[in-house]
Structure 1
Amino acid sequence: MNNSAKIVLIGMPGSGKSTLGKAVARQLDFDFYDLDEEIVKEEGKSIPDIFMDEGEGYFRRLETKMIEKFLNRDSSFLLSTGGGAPCFNENMELINQRGISVFLNVSIEQLLLRLTENEADKRPMFRGMDTSAIRLKLQDLLADREMYYEQAKIMLSGDDISTEHLISELMSFFRSF
């Protein structure tokens, strides 16, 4: 067993996994990776194209393969997952066995605000939807995914989770071992 810290951020689309993850990784001097970006690099095509060409099952298997690849590393890192990644192929169990899972629990209202301000058209899942359709989609996704997210080792709730707050929780977690 090595002493590297493998931090995996999970949560809904728009919860700040990538934005917060980059900032925290920088402060901790860890490498930062975005799971979806890594899949795009590996496959040489966009997530929507993977879904269209190969199907969701293929994409979910890729997620699992990439999560395993990262968790087998000997170095410390912070990995931001896609919102659905913890919910398939026993990925949450895998993440918790080999890493430190952190659930960024942001309210539906805040997710909606973030997604409708500047993100919805960048995310295929929400493209072309109006605000009420995005709200319903978020509520349905959360209802399906919450049981996985709540298995996280660290849960942070709020609409303004700061870099400092996340680092503080991680340090408390590390001290408890």
Structure 2
Amino acid sequence: MKKVILCGYMASGKTTTAKLLSKKANLTYIDLDEVIEKNTGKTISKLFEEDGEIKFRKLEHQTLTTIVNESEGFVLSLGGGTPVYANNHLVMQRDDVVSVYLKTGIGEIVNRLKAQKGLRPLLDALKEEELDEFIGQHLFERSYYYHQAKHVVATDGKSPDEVVNEIMKLI
């Protein structure tokens, strides 16, 4: 059974794509953040606030490793920062994993995030005109890790179904 991992920046379409792909490929849908929240009984924001980022990243790594080691036949959506920490990018390179970076341009991400600003704690303190620079800096810092995925699918100007169809050809 296939183990498909989707990575990318926030608002790149990981969750939407993972849900659609899991149905089309007849695989279980798993969202890493949702699993962590269920296991801890806390939201990701609360975990960061109460336990700090280091403890969260350790928990995130343990959860990711457990899912990939113990589960079969899934589409897993990672958090935007997951590949950057604790050598998680190496999990995406495992022989039993098909990893896909959903590459989305800064302009597209900004447009998507404008509609979700209140839902993204990382962006709450930013003014709209600061989004481009913030996202550009983050993408620059994370690009190396995202590109450790075995495949890259550009999402700009594509519908979720078009992205899913591209990934289906890869798996």
**Structure-2-length-normalised TM-score:** 0.92
Task: Identify unmatched segments of 5+ residues in structure 1.
Answer: none
Kindly report which structure 2 residues correspond to 1:5-84, keeping only aligned pairs within 5 A, or say none.
Answer: 5-84=2-81
Instruction: Please say if residues 154 and 169 of structure 1, whose CA atoms lie closer than 8 Å, have aligned partners that are also in contact.
Output: no
Distance 1:80 1:116 in 2: 22
With over 3 angstroms needed to count, the CA separation of the structure-2 counterparts of 1:74 and 1:52, relative to structure 1, is: closer
Q: How much does 1:162 deviate?
A: 4.0
- Deviations along 1:66-115, one digit per CA (max 9) or x if unpaired, are 11111113420001111100011110112211411100001100100000
Q: Amino acid of the residue matched to residue 11 of structure 1?
A: G
Q: Amino acid of the residue matched to residue 54 of structure 1?
A: D
Q: Amino acid of the residue matched to residue 129 of structure 2?
A: S
Distance 1:53 1:156 in 2: 36
- Number of equivalences: 170
Instruction: Please say if residues 24 and 166 of structure 1, whose CA atoms lie closer than 8 Å, have aligned partners that are also in contact.
Output: no
With over 3 angstroms needed to count, the CA separation of the structure-2 counterparts of 1:161 and 1:77, relative to structure 1, is: farther
**Structure-1-length-normalised TM-score:** 0.89
Aligned residue in 2 for 1:145: 142
Q: How much does 1:152 deviate?
A: 1.1
Q: How much does 1:160 deviate?
A: 3.3
Distance 2:27 2:160 in 1: 14
Q: Amino acid of the residue matched to residue 111 of structure 2?
A: L
Q: Amino acid of the residue matched to residue 84 of structure 2?
A: C
The alignment yields a C-alpha RMSD, in angstroms, of 1.6
Instruction: Please say if residues 33 and 79 of structure 1, whose CA atoms lie closer than 8 Å, have aligned partners that are also in contact.
Output: yes
- Are positions 1:107 and 2:89 aligned together? no
Identity rate, percent = 31
